[in-house]
Amino acid sequence: MKSDVLVTLEEVSKKYASRDVLTDISLTIKQGDCIALRGSNGSGKSTLLRIVSGLIPLTSGQRLLKHSKLVIGYTPDRLAKLRMTSTEYLTHMGRICNIPKKDLQDRIKELHAFFNLEQNYSLKMINYSKGMLQKVNLMQATIQTPDLLVLDEPFSGLDKESIAHLLTSLKKIKAEGTAILAAVHDPLLASQLVSHTYWIREGKLKLERVESIPSELSVIFELECVIRQEIIDSLTSLFPDIAWKTVDNGFVRFSFTQKDYSAFLVEFIHKGGEIISLQRKERSV
């Protein structure tokens, strides 16, 4: 492996029972890279992130590391609301990493300051907001300074202020030399975070060719709706750049840009989707 290459996947495939999730995936992650991974729900994004992180075995292919002591930090798509304070939880995670006690406490204090989270010694994580939990999620992944940070939907469910702070934090982490691989639904957030974007479609990995965005503001639409799963599958196959997720109220929320606006809405209504709300948002790029 070249000196700046951290992780290489060579023709990696993954099966669960008889289902092919990933097929012949090849990917090289270098020092300083910032890579977005996109795809519809169930496309295999989380599986690929776990393979890169070394958390699950391959069915076939190879995963090669620069060296055996490479530090990879991993954040799942959600962190459980534990009956522990953030300090207690991070202390536990630091001990697993064999960080000396004095160094660990200094590092925990540093991380609370970096992610702008009060180091409250009585408030349990079971009472944390989604944004607070996501900050702790990132803290545990960076308790040791990682060579590679792997993020599974780090912006999911966060408000605008939390997203902005998280983006700033990730850019600082990248500037310090950490490579980042992140599954990101929102195409505009992906464009702000990354240098490369890959799509997973039908178990295959494809590099997205991204055109520059001409204006300082880009428009994104959020459609909250009632819709059947088979219609979702049909729409995402017709409009591969559109992201969707199930929100807390049980509705489905689609996110899409101006280029898909008219055609998507026509197809959505034609297929029997029921609109609950439709919002137009402008975001700085």
pLDDT at 210 over 60: no
Per-domain residue ranges of the chain: 5-208, 218-284
Q: Which pLDDT band, with edges at 50, 70 and 90, does 283 fall under? A: low
Higher pLDDT, 110 or 214: 110
Q: Kindly report which listed range (15-24, 151-160, 187-196) carries the lowest average pLDDT score.
A: 187-196
Mean pLDDT, residues 95-117? 94
Task: For domain 218-284, give the fold.
Answer: Alpha-Beta Plaits (3.30.70)
In sequence order, the 6+-apart residues with CB closer than 8 A to the CB of 163 are: 155, 189
Bigger pLDDT: 188 vs 148: 148
DSSP codes of every residue in 194-250: -SEEEEEETTEEEEE-PPPP-SSEEEEEEEEEE--HHHHHHHHHH-TT-EEEE-TTS
Report, as an integer, the average pLDDT of 35-45: 88
Confidence of residue 35 (pLDDT cuts 50, 70, 90): very high
Predicted confidence (pLDDT) at residue 152 exceeds the cutoff of 90 = yes
Inform me whether the pLDDT recorded for 215 exceeds 80.
Answer: no
- pTM confidence score: 0.73
Please indicate whether the domains covering 5-208 and 218-284 agree at the CATH topology level: no
- Of the candidates 26, 30, 73, which has an alpha carbon nearest to the alpha carbon of residue 179? 30
CATH class of 5-208: alpha beta
- pLDDT > 70 fraction of the chain, expressed in percent and rounded: 92
